Structure 1
Amino acid sequence: MPPDLVSQLVRLSGRAGPPTVLKDTRVLVIRVGDVVVKAHPAGTDEAELKARLEVRLPGLLLEPLGTDRVGDRIVTIWPAGEPLTPDDLETPPWEEGGRLLARLHAQPLPAGLPPMGGPARVTRAVAQLEPGDLPRKAYQTLDLRQRAYGLAHGDWHLGQLIRLDGAWLLIDPDDLGYGDPAWDLARPAAWFASGLVSPDEWNRFLGSYLAAGGTAVSPGDPWRELDGPARALTVQLAATAMATARRDNTALDEAAEALISSCERILATPPPS
């Protein structure tokens, strides 16, 4: 990161006290006191991000406190809330996530929103790999076309939940947009299909989503809608893990190995027509 970027984000926070770096990848996210400040990647489409940030869903989606800019990077400022803790991860809040997604998918589609960012994230992840890498080969079999159109988060996982004033909320609307809401269930589905989430956890998540009125998948055959998006998220996660291990010169962990094994199955098993 640029050496003075953190200090500039601290200044924009309007808070005193030492910053805590929460994330430093394509984005830089810090916490200062009771706010979180996020520097978005250079080249972020300002009009698209603005349209996403203007969506107001009280009690469902965290609202920004403000926006600013540092050089060529857009900066957003947010209430800090309470992120997931190690205790939460002992019994992950799958039910809360499922219910929030069901509520999100029931909202009318706001005018002017761009497409949700899920498919683009898959393509970016694979672009980091060499042509012969297994996830990149599996990518060639994917169909990223959207089969339905509604409001979708675009990058949902458990880390996109926080508690604020005792209530769970969705965060990070960077990929919010119109598209197939089944993509919001695809990361847990990919984990489940790769053996990284237990059947009980998967059933808790999917069951709470359906019980709350979620309509992205069919109750009797959810994989009819989930198969394609789950394949895509498997490829994305495997590609990201492989690229990270290669960059850091580290071995793949068990989760990455499971996802890459799933890519082998994707190559061996054509998607349903």
Structure 2
Amino acid sequence: MTTPPSGPLAALAALATADAPERAPAPAVLADRPDGTVVRSGPTVAKAHAPDADPRDLAARLRIAAHPLLHGILLPPLPVTGPGGFLALADDGRPLTRWPYGSPVRPDDPDAAPWEDAARLLARLHGVEVRRLPGPVPPMRGPAKAARALDRMRGAASGAGAADGAASVPGGLSAAAAVIERAWSRLPAWARAAAPPPRGGTLCHGDLHLGQLVRHPAADGPWLLIDIDDLGLGDGAWDLARPAAWFASGLLAPEIWTRFLAAYRAAGGRALRPDGDPWAELEVPARALTVQTAALAVAKAAAGVRPLDEAGTAVVEACARMASLPAQLGPAELVVG
């Protein structure tokens, strides 16, 4: 645990200790990535959002997270500028927010991963009456995030080649990138953030994975969803697509996927039909999340000048299966290739 230095982290440290600056524990950096920096002081967390985050859309998402309809679903933000104000701006314009600290999922205990809790939270989120929320509600950013992953892959691969020569990019990354591009091109326009989704109007998280859940109050409170940067209106199936893609790629055990799916349906989740084959709704989002995951894997491998790891290889292989089949795949083709 390290006390943050001066500069942008100092603004976060000030936010994290705002309630009791003289008595608060020394701030510590929990995460420092290009798309978000997080600092904790005792029961409070402060976050610097991505430099390109739209403050108006983020302010709308914060109002939604604080709304009573989202109580027990999303972790609510803490005020930063007085009653009703949940957003501050750093000197460089980067949005800053405050949150209660929650205990994250333990990566060293996969058997305790709260898949069913995540599914039930999504079902509740998808059932929120959007017309009762403070508007306007921005669009869910899941497809835009997938498109950014492709851009990141392109930039990382070209940068590695420019710096050290194409031969230095290891593990067949150029070939992997080409496979991913073919799979991406076969997605419909809405899944590539090039058109509105055909099934919109549902309040979606936009980036669901187990890192987006915390217990609050910390340690033994109920599970809540965090990270509202991609929250908005869209197709609720997108929120189910990452575990679906992992299952289809062999990265998620069938029994876990079955439990997740059953919990979502039992909780009345609206993104899927109540029984039967779910892949009519899941196929396109699952393909998009597979491509996104593969693109990020290639980008990280290219940046580190190293070959793909086992998980990265699995999702690239899934992209290869998708790229070799007709644009409209059946569910069995997506799962078993």
8 Å contact 2:47–2:97 — kept in the other structure? Answer: yes
1:213-237 CA-partner distances (Å, limit 9, x unpaired): 0121122120000000000000001
Distance 1:194 1:91 in 2: 22
Report the residue type matching 2:300 in the other structure: T
Residue 104 of structure 1 is matched in structure 2 by 125
Instruction: Report 1:80-95 matches (<5 A).
Output: 80-86=101-107, 88-95=109-116
Structure 1 position 127, deviation (Å): 0.9
CA distance in 2, matches of 1:2, 1:268: 51
In the alignment, residue 267 of structure 2 is paired with which amino acid?
A: A
Of 76, 88, 107, the residue aligned with 2:97 is 76
Corresponding residue for residue 59 of structure 1: 72
Q: Match of 2:213, as an amino acid?
A: L
What is the identity, as a one-letter code, of the residue corresponding to 2:129? P
Cα distance in 2 for partners of 1:62, 1:252 equals 35
Is the 8 Å Cα contact of residues 140 and 231 (structure 2) preserved in structure 1? yes
Residue 321 (structure 2) pairs with residue 265 (structure 1): yes
8 Å Cα contact 2:16-2:39 kept in structure 1: no
Identity %: 46
Residue in 2 aligned with 1:217?
Answer: 272
Q: Normalising by structure 1, what TM-score?
A: 0.94
Match of 1:135 in 2: 180
The answer for the alignment partner of 2:248 in structure 1 is 193
> Does structure 1 conserve the Cα–Cα contact (< 8 Å) formed by 2:235 and 2:271?
yes
Query: Which residue pairs with 2:84 in the alignment?
Result: none
1:48 — aligned with what? 57
Select which of 133, 144, 148 maps to 2:199.
148
Q: Structure 1 pair 122/106, CA: closer, same or farther in 2 (3 Å)?
A: same
Secondary structure of 2:152 counterpart? coil
Contact 2:40 2:101 in 1 (8 A): yes
Partner of 2:37: 28
| Cα drift, residue 203 of structure 1 | 0.4
Aligned equivalent of 1:159: 211
Please state how far the C-alpha of 1:20 moved relative to its aligned partner. Answer: 2.8
Change (3 A) 1:33 1:156: same
CA deviation profile, 1:95-120 (whole Å, cap 9, x unmatched): 10011101111111133111100000
> Alignment partner for residue 295 of structure 2, among 215, 233, 239?
239
Judge conservation of contact 2:116–2:264 (CA < 8 Å) in 1. Answer: yes
Q: Which runs of 5+ in 1 are unaligned?
A: none
Does residue 226 in structure 1 map to residue 282 in structure 2?
Answer: yes
For 1:60 and 1:179, locate their aligned partners in 2 and report how far apart those are by CA, in whole Å. Answer: 18
Q: Counterpart of 2:284 in structure 1: which amino acid?
A: G
2 CA distance for matches of 1:79 and 1:178?
A: 25
Q: Provide TM-score, normalisation by structure 2.
A: 0.77
Contact 1:23 1:29 in 2 (8 A): yes
Do the aligned partners of residues 87 and 252 (structure 1) sit closer, same or farther apart at CA in structure 2, a change above 3 Å counting?
Answer: closer
Corresponding residue SS for 2:292? helix
**1:19-55 CA distances to partner (integer Å, 9 max, x unpaired)?**
1332423211222221111111112111111111101
1:208 alignment partner in structure 2: 263
Residue matched to 2:10: 7
Amino acid at match of 1:147: P
CA–CA separation in structure 1 for the residues paired with 2:237 and 2:125: 12
Matched, 1:114 2:138: yes
Contact kept in structure 2, 1:36 and 1:77, CA below 8 Å: yes
> Could you tell me how far apart the structure 1 residues matched to 2:43 and 2:97 are?
14
**Aligned partner letter, 1:90:** D
The answer as to whether partners of 1:228 and 1:271 remain within 8 angstroms in 2 is no
The answer to whether the 8 A contact 1:35-1:77 is kept is yes
Assess if the C-alpha contact under 8 Å between 2:49 and 2:94 holds in 1: yes
